[in-house]
Structures are given as structure tokens and as C-alpha cells.
């Protein structure tokens, strides 16, 4: 899906189904963050903030970054409405530009990589934005052979994710599946994994 599609759906993006999945993802990320105190978070491809704003009270500073201007406008409206003064919404497409001047303790990519044709260059750029000993979190779909779409990956295996992270300079990779749902990925039953790594 290109950003024009996301611009078109931005104002209607927060459906009940998406809110439910976002709550499940946010809860799993919270479980992952219990070991250590992290002060800042960068949510790349964060859309309207469905996931990251549920984590907002755990951080002193946060950035929600998305390539869709309309998504950022919706996210900014939530920042204003919820008075999340420690959060910024930034329009940026790291696939095409390299000018995101922030450093975070935690970087989250939630349901982003399936839309990225070549994931390693993006992971390499994001690795430079992660503070030393920071936590890099990917949430996405497990590989699903029933799904075939010219612009979307049909999920990922653990080997694929670990190889891409390794190529991008990450280490200490861990990954597990945490949710199985009906009709959640291109109208197919699918499962979600969470991957963590450091740099």
C-alpha cells in the first residue's frame, strides 16, 4: 500500500477491529518493557497512534513518525486532545529520506514491515536512531502462504527477521508468536509475532 492509500483512509482508520488489535499489540509491548526503564520511544510507521499512545505514560519523550501526512494530522489531533505534551508527530519517509534527527531508547515497528519492499535498508536507518543498549521491537504477521499480494509481504519467518536484523547490525534477537486471530490479515486467519533486539 502506498502512502496515498493511507492518506485516503486516515480519517476512517481507527475502526473497532484495528483498535482491538492495537490494544493486544500494546499490551504485548508493555509486557516486553517490564525488565528495564526506558525514557524515550520512537514509533516508526505509527499511523494514527493506536498502539503508541497506549504506551505514552511509560515514557518521558516520544515521537510518532509516519510517511502519511493525513495520518500525522490525525495523530497530532490526539496528541492535542489527550494533552500528550511529551509526544511529537513527525511526517517522514525513511525509505526515501534520511533526515530524522532523533535518538530513542525504544523503537517500535508495528505492522510496518509487511508494507516495505526491501526491509534491510529501513532497519539499517532505524538502527542509527536507537540509543546504545536500546530496545528494537518489531510486531508483524507470521508467514502465511494463503496470502498473495503484489505490494504486501505475506508475513515473515523467524529466520527471515533474524537475518534482516543481523544484516542491519542488531544483536540478541528474540521472537515469539503471541496472538492468533480470525480474519486479521487480508481477511485470513493469522498470527502475530513480536521480535526484540538490541544494537
- Mean pLDDT over the full length of the chain: 92
Sign of CA dihedral 174, 97, 129, 121: positive
Q: pLDDT grade, residue 1 (50/70/90)?
A: very low
Return the percentage of the chain with pLDDT > 70, whole number.
93
3-7+32-198 under CATH 1.10.1270.20, yes or no: no
pLDDT at 170: 97
pLDDT at 4: 59
What's the rounded mean pLDDT across residues 100-125? Answer: 95
pLDDT at 23: 96
What's the rounded mean pLDDT across residues 166-179? Answer: 97
CA angle, corner 155, sides to 151 and 172, nearest 5? 125
Tell me which residue of 32, 34, 42 sits closest to 128, measured CA to CA.
42
Tell me which residue of 182, 168, 175, 106 sits closest to 142, measured CA to CA.
175
The answer to whether residues 31 and 58 touch, using CB atoms and an 8 Å cutoff, is no
Q: What is the DSSP string of 160-174?
A: HHHHHHHHTT-EEEE
Rounded to whole angstroms, the Cα distance separating 136 from 12 reads 29
- What pLDDT, in 10s, does the model give residues 35-70? 788 999 999 999 999 999 999 999 999 999 999 999
Q: In the chain, where are the structural domains located? A: 3-7+32-198
* CB atoms inside a 10 Å sphere around CB 28: 20
pTM, rounded to two decimals: 0.92
Tell me which residue of 27, 35, 82, 38 sits closest to 61, measured CA to CA.
38
Q: pLDDT grade, residue 191 (50/70/90)?
A: very high
Phi, psi of 38 (to 5 degrees): -110, 145
pLDDT at 5: 60
What's the rounded mean pLDDT across residues 82-101? Answer: 91
Rounded to whole angstroms, the Cα distance separating 8 from 27 reads 28
Tell me which residue of 138, 139, 136, 137 sits closest to 128, measured CA to CA.
136
In this predicted model, which residue has the larger pLDDT, 73 or 36?
Answer: 73
What's the rounded mean pLDDT across residues 143-158? Answer: 91
User: 110 has which bridge partners?
Assistant: 139
- Across 70-98, b (16+ Cβ under 10 Å) vs e yields bbbebbbebbeeeebeebbbbbbebeeee
Q: What is the DSSP string of 24-54?
A: HHHHHHHHHGGGS---EEEEET-TTSTTGGG
Amino acid at each position: 500500500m502506498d502512502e496515498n492509500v493511507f492518506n485516503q483512509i486516515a480519517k476512517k482508520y481507527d475502526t473497532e477491529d484495528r483498535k482491538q488489535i492495537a490494544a493486544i499489540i500494546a499490551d504485548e509491548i508493555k509486557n516486553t518493557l517490564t525488565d528495564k526503564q526506558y525514557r524515550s520511544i520512537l514509533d516508526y510507521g505509527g499511523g494514527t497512534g493506536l498502539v503508541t499512545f497506549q504506551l505514552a505514560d511509560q515514557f518521558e519523550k516520544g515521537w510518532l513518525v509516519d510517511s502519511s501526512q493525513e495520518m500525522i494530522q490525525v495523530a497530532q489531533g490526539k496528541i492535542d486532545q489527550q494533552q500528550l505534551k511529551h509526544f511529537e508527530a513527525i511526517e517522514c519517509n525513511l525509505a526515501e529520506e534520511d533526515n530524522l534527527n532523533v535518538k530513542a531508547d525504544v523503537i517500535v515497528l508495528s505492522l510496518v514491515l509487511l508494507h516495505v519492499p526491501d526491509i534491510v535498508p529501513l532497519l539499517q536507518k532505524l538502527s542509527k536512531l536507537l540509543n546504545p543498549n536500546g530496545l528494537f521491537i518489531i510486531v508483524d504477521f507470521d508467514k502465511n502462504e494463503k496470502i498473495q499480494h503484489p505490494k504486501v509481504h505475506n508475513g515473515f519467518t523467524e529466520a527471515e527477521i533474524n537475518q534482516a536484523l543481523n544484516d542491519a547490525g542488531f544483536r540478541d534477537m528474540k521472537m515469539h508468536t503471541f496472538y492468533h486471530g480470525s480474519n486479521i490479515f487480508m481477511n485470513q486467519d493469522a498470527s502475530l509475532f513480536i521480535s526484540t533486539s538490541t544494537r
